[in-house]
């Protein structure tokens, strides 16, 4: 079996550096994603009220644009994170590590596609000709349609993200140098994301169960990924170069 030092040389990056990059990537994704989603999008959108939503976005256009930029930064670091996690977990199982990376990249690609819907809302709001041609009410309805399309396209990406977390959790659990409880939490988080995403597509009355399904996703997802991030930054980035069999103390 190749030593981790040899693996690091071949990939031009050591496992501890991969862990540090992954931890920083997760941290940036958390900050940009939480800000853009909870402090911009959800704060400006009023469900069921297209006119107020459009008015909020128009009155806070700079904030809305910063939110979109934050999402773009999140996508960029999702790509970096997919690469770093592949390097970190390649010693466990190269094929599964590659699969996990591709699943995360597919999610990032789908989310990037979803972002064009947010940009279309800006085109509607700032395009004087649009309101003249289709009318104010239809413009508001079209804007809400784009916002809904953004959410549902995002949900499609989360299906791949859920499977990514499941594979990632399995690799972490089997690694020997990542605590097994983190691997278990990531597996549970993946199952939660998958259940919630499928519920969106299968249940016409999903809104009636939103709190339940959100809890299924938010709690294990937050605990699992946050625990993994802390380990990557605090322990993973300082773990010794491992030789031979993985030491289960790390």
pLDDT band at residue 236 under the 50/70/90 scheme? confident
Residue 243 belongs to a domain: no
Q: In this structure, are residues 230 and 30 in contact, taking their beta carbons and an 8 Å threshold? A: no
**More confident position, 215 or 34:** 34
Q: In this structure, are residues 104 and 161 in contact, taking their beta carbons and an 8 Å threshold? A: yes
Q: Which tokens sit at 191?
A: 């199952």
Q: In this structure, are residues 22 and 88 in contact, taking their beta carbons and an 8 Å threshold? A: yes
Q: In this structure, are residues 15 and 8 in contact, taking their beta carbons and an 8 Å threshold? A: yes
Q: In this structure, are residues 32 and 241 in contact, taking their beta carbons and an 8 Å threshold? A: no
Task: Report the half-sphere exposure of 159 (CA within 13 A, side-chain side).
Answer: 11
Instruction: Look at residue 215 and tell me whether its pLDDT is greater than 90.
Output: no
Residue 3 belongs to a domain: no
Instruction: Look at residue 243 and tell me whether its pLDDT is greater than 90.
Output: no
Task: Report the half-sphere exposure of 27 (CA within 13 A, side-chain side).
Answer: 12
Percent of the chain residues past pLDDT 70, beyond the cut = 88
Residue 116 belongs to a domain: yes
Give how many domains the chain has, as a whole number.
1
pLDDT tens for 38-96 read 999 999 999 889 999 999 999 999 999 999 999 999 999 999 999 999 999 999 999 99
Residue 249 belongs to a domain: no
Residue 248 belongs to a domain: no
pLDDT of residue 217: 78
Residue 197 belongs to a domain: yes
Residue 174 belongs to a domain: yes
Residue 5 belongs to a domain: no
pLDDT of residue 10: 47
Note down the domain range covering 173: 11-238
pLDDT of residue 241: 64
């Amino acid at each position: 079996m190749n030593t981790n030092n040899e693996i690091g040389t071949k990939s031009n990056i050591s496992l501890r550096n991969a862990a540090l990059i992954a931890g920083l990537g997760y941290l940036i994704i958390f900050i940009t994603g939480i800000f853009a989603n909870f402090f911009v999008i959800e704060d400006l959108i009023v469900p069921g009220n297209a006119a107020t939503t459009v008015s909020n976005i128009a009155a806070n256009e700079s904030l809305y644009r910063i939110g979109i930029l934050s999402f773009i930064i999140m996508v960029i670091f999702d790509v970096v994170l997919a690469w770093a996690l592949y390097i970190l977990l390649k010693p466990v199982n190269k094929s599964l590590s590659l699969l996990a990376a591709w699943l995360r990249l597919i999610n990032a690609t789908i989310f990037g596609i979803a972002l064009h819907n947010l940009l279309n809302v800006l085109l509607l709001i700032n395009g004087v000709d649009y309101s003249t041609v289709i009318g104010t009410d239809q413009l508001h309805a079209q804007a809400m349609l784009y916002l809904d399309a953004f959410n549902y396209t995002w949900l499609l990406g989360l299906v791949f993200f859920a499977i990514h977390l499941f594979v990632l959790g399995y690799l972490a659990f089997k690694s020997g140098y990542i605590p097994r409880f983190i691997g278990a939490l990531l597996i549970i988080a993946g199952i939660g994301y998958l259940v919630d995403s499928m519920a969106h597509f299968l249940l016409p009355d999903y809104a009636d169960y939103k709190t339940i399904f959100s809890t299924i996703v938010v709690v294990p997802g937050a605990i699992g990924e946050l625990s993994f991030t802390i380990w990557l930054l605090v322990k993973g980035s300082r773990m010794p170069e491992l030789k031979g069999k993985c030491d289960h103390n790390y």
